Amino acid sequence: MVDTRVNLCGITLDNPVIPASGTFGYGHEFAACYDINCLGTFSCKGTTLQPRFGNPTPRIAECPAGMLNAVGLQNPGVEAVIAEELPKLKACFHKPIIANVSGFSVEEYAQTCRLLNAQPQVGWLEVNISCPNVHGGGMSFGTDPHAAAEVVKAVKAVTTKPVIVKLSPNVTDIVAIAKACEQAGADGVSLINTLLGMRFDLKTKRPVLANGTGGLSGPAVFPVAVRMVYQVAQAVSIPVVGMGGVSSAEDVLEMMLAGAVAVQVGAANLVDPFACKTIVDDLPRVMERYQITSLQQLSGGANHG
C-alpha cells in the first residue's frame, strides 16, 4: 500500500497532482468530464484586479513537443470570479483551491490577493510575477529580485493564507529570484512558468502568434524545469511546487525527486482533458513499480544523495 499524500505549506493533499493555472479554467469546466475531487487541488485561471480581454488572435500555436501561447491573462476580473466562478466551483469541488493572481503594479497584486484571501474556498495564493511592471518600464517583476520581493511583501501584508510565488524561467539566475522571495516572506515557490519562444509561418512570412512571441510549454521544457526545480530546492527552505512539461505519473515522481513537494500539470490538460485524472490513477502503480512507499519521503531525494 502506497501513501500518495503530500503537505503543501501546512495543508495536506491526497496526492501531489495539481492542474496548472491557465489550463483548467476555474475548475467547474472540467467537472463535466470527471470528478475533479480526485485531484490534490488545482490552480485556477490567472485572475487580475480588472477584467482583461487578452491578446489578439491567433494566440495559441502548436509546435513539436509543445505549444506556444500568448493568451494575455484573459479573465473576468477578481470581483466576477468571487461572485460567479467560485460559487459554481463550490458545487463540484470540495477541497481548498490555489488562487492564481497576476498584476501590473504592486498595488494591484495586493488588492487582488486581499479580496481572494477572504474567500473560504481559497487555500493558497499563487502570485504570478511574470507580469510586466507598468510602473517600472514594463520589465517583469519576476526578472528582478528587488521587484519580486516588493510584490511578496505587499501581498503578505494583506493576507493570512500561504503565498506561493510563481517564478519565470526567463532569467539569468532563477535561484536569486527564489531566495529574494523567501527572504521577503513567501511561503513557497512554484516553477517554471513558460519559456519565451517564437515561430514564423513560411507562407505568410509572419509570426504564427499575433503577439509575435509567446510562452513555450509542453514536454519540450521538462528537462529545463527539472533542472531549475532541483537548483531552487537546494537553495531555499520553503516548499517548491514543480511544473513544466509534466504529462505522466513518472514525470511527477521525477519532479518530486528533484525537490518538488507537489507538481502542477499544464499543457497536457489542453491535449487531453483527462490527463490529470490519468496521472492520479497511475500514480500508485508507478510508485509500486519503483518501490516508493511514500511521496513525502521521496520529495527532494536527489538533493540528499
The C-alpha angle with vertex 296 and arms to 294 and 302, in degrees rounded to 5, equals 100
Active-site entry in 44, 131, 181, 276: 131
Q: Using CA atoms, how far apart are residues 219 and 167, in angstroms rounded to an integer?
A: 18
User: Is residue 137 within 8 Å of 162, Cβ to Cβ?
Assistant: no
Strand partners, 99: 125
User: Is residue 205 within 8 Å of 188, Cβ to Cβ?
Assistant: no
Q: CB burial class (10 A; 0-12, 13-18, 19+) of residue 3?
A: middle
User: Is residue 237 within 8 Å of 183, Cβ to Cβ?
Assistant: no
Query: Dihedral (C-alpha) 54, 58, 64, 65: value to the nearest 10 degrees?
Result: 20
Residue 16 to residues 114, 116, 263: CA-CA distances in angstroms?
Answer: 26, 23, 6
Closest CA to 207 of 56, 52, 54, 23: 56
* Largest interatomic CA distance in the chain: 56
9 is catalytic: no
Element at 7 (helix H, strand E): strand 6-8
C-alpha cell at 179: 531566495
Element at 90 (helix H, strand E): helix 86-90
Residues assigned a catalytic role: 131
